[in-house]
A and B are shown apart, each in its own frame.
With several copies, the nearest count.
Chain A
């Protein structure tokens, strides 16, 4: 398994924010 990216992942997408 390679190293994870060195930047934080993006904030949740709009599709996720729609959820209650």
Chain B
């Protein structure tokens, strides 16, 4: 079966459980065209990168998923400079050696340099010696 593909020309809010909401621009496959003007549709599968911090597990949303911290610290080197945007972040130049204390799943790791501790983007870190 080849389904016809349509695009939503306006937002539509659901008014009952069997309906599907539409955002203008959404692309759908039409499964059934009811004579009543109600068409049964399936949203085209969307895929892409999203920030992990915006997600919680569907089951057991309160269970911690982050790994345990490692207070001994694991040596890493910064591969790109970053200037703290918030108070709990750390500013570092490229090429600085630091210790990673906690590899949080949202990609903002807790690092330690000398006496300073704070968050730093894991994307700008590389294991020392690699």
Genuine A/B complex: yes
| Chain A residues within CB distance 8 Å of chain B | 1-5, 7-16, 19
Residues of B within 8 A of A (CB): 9-10, 12, 15-16, 18-19, 24, 31-32, 34, 36-38, 40, 48-49, 51-54, 62, 82, 86, 106-108, 119, 121-124
Contact B40 A16 (CB under 8 A): no
Say which residue of A9, A12, A13, A19 sits within 8 Å of B38 (CB atoms).
A9
Task: Name the prevailing secondary structure of the B interface residues.
Answer: mixed
Consensus secondary structure, chain A interface: loop
Pairwise interchain contact A4-B86, C-beta atoms closer than 8 A: no
- B51 and A4 within 8 A (CB): no
Docked Cα-Cα span, A1 to B19, in Å, equals: 11
Q: Are A4 and B34 in contact (CB under 8 A)?
A: yes
Residues of A contacting B51 with CB < 8 Å? 9-10
What residues of B have a CB within 8 angstroms of the CB of A15 in the complex? 9-10, 24
Say how far B40's CB is from chain A's closest CB, in angstroms. 5
